């Protein structure tokens, strides 16, 4: 196989000194110096989050501080990457919330597996799981990236309850008004 040389035009004196290339680079630098900065000083400055942003999944409590989750496990079943693990537990009958059958004994979400799809929020019948607008989850180990029940409630906080499943009086009144 023969090698065919390619003929090129010889470089001029200015091209051999690289002066046009250096001046071109300085021109771009000076143009950028006069424009306002396009970078953000993260974490002091944070980008504006869109209204319907799907961020970190969390558990929420009702306005009285009671957990809304009843361990139905629908979110665990619908989760495509299997990031949610729930261990159901029972509520003692003598407890003030004993008329609710179950509550999660353990509720874990592995944030390394979560794909932020929002299916867990959509399927939850009790509106106990919500995707918050937090987007920066960090950790030094894999174990730190698993949010346990207490951390999920800490991130979620409280939200209004439309179901009133915990309040026997309200449930009885609504049931009585329906007849």
Give 83's pLDDT tier (boundaries 50, 70, 90): very high
Query: Which residue carries 């932020």 as its tokens?
Result: 116
Provide the residue range defining the domain that includes 93.
Answer: 57-178
Task: State the average pLDDT over residues 143-166.
Answer: 83
CA 34 to chain centre: 37
Query: What's the pTM value of the predicted model, to 2 decimals?
Result: 0.67
Task: State the average pLDDT over residues 70-96.
Answer: 90
User: Domain of 104: which CATH number?
Assistant: 3.30.70.3270
Indicate whether 79 belongs to any domain: yes
Indicate whether 134 belongs to any domain: yes
pLDDT at 76 over 90: yes
Cα distances (Å, whole numbers) of residue 69 to 17, 102, 144, 156, 177: 72, 8, 23, 12, 27
CA distance 106 to 150: 9
CA distance 23 to 14: 11
Query: Which residue carries 């409630």 as its tokens?
Result: 153
Indicate whether 1 belongs to any domain: no
Task: State the average pLDDT over residues 21-35.
Answer: 91
pLDDT at 50: 86
Task: State the average pLDDT over residues 19-46.
Answer: 88
Cα distances (Å, whole numbers) of residue 42 to 39, 47, 143: 9, 9, 25
Indicate whether 153 belongs to any domain: yes
* 3 state DSSP class of 116: coil
Indicate whether 118 belongs to any domain: yes
**Interval 135-153: pLDDT, tens:** 778 889 999 999 999 999 9
**Interval 87-121: pLDDT, tens:** 998 887 787 777 777 889 999 999 999 999 999 99
Task: State the average pLDDT over residues 79-88.
Answer: 95
- What's the total number of domains in the chain? 1
Instruction: For residue 28, report the phi and psi dihedrals to the nearest 5 degrees.
Output: -65, -40
Indicate whether 168 belongs to any domain: yes
Task: State the average pLDDT over residues 48-65.
Answer: 87
Give 176's pLDDT tier (boundaries 50, 70, 90): low
Reading phi first (left if > 0) and then psi (alpha if -120 to 50, else beta), residue 139 is in beta
Indicate whether 63 belongs to any domain: yes
Indicate whether 47 belongs to any domain: no
Give 163's pLDDT tier (boundaries 50, 70, 90): low
């Amino acid at each position: 196989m023969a090698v065919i040389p390619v003929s090129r035009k010889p470089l001029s004196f200015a091209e051999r000194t690289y002066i046009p290339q250096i001046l071109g680079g300085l021109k771009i630098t000076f143009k950028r110096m006069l424009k306002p900065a396009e970078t953000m000083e993260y974490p002091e400055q944070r980008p504006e989050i869109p209204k319907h942003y799907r961020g970190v999944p969390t558990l929420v409590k009702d306005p009285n501080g009671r957990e809304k989750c009843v361990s139905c496990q629908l979110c665990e079943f619908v989760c495509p990457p299997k990031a949610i693990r729930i261990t159901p537990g029972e509520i003692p009958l003598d407890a003030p919330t004993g008329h609710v059958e179950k509550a999660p004994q353990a509720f874990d979400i592995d944030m390394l597996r979560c794909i932020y799809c929002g299916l867990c929020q959509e399927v939850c019948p009790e509106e106990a799981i919500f995707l918050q607008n937090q987007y920066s989850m960090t950790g030094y180990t894999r174990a730190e990236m698993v949010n346990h029940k207490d951390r999920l409630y800490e991130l979620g906080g409280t939200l209004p309850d439309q179901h009133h499943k915990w309040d026997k009086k309200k449930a009885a009144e609504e049931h009585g008004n329906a007849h």
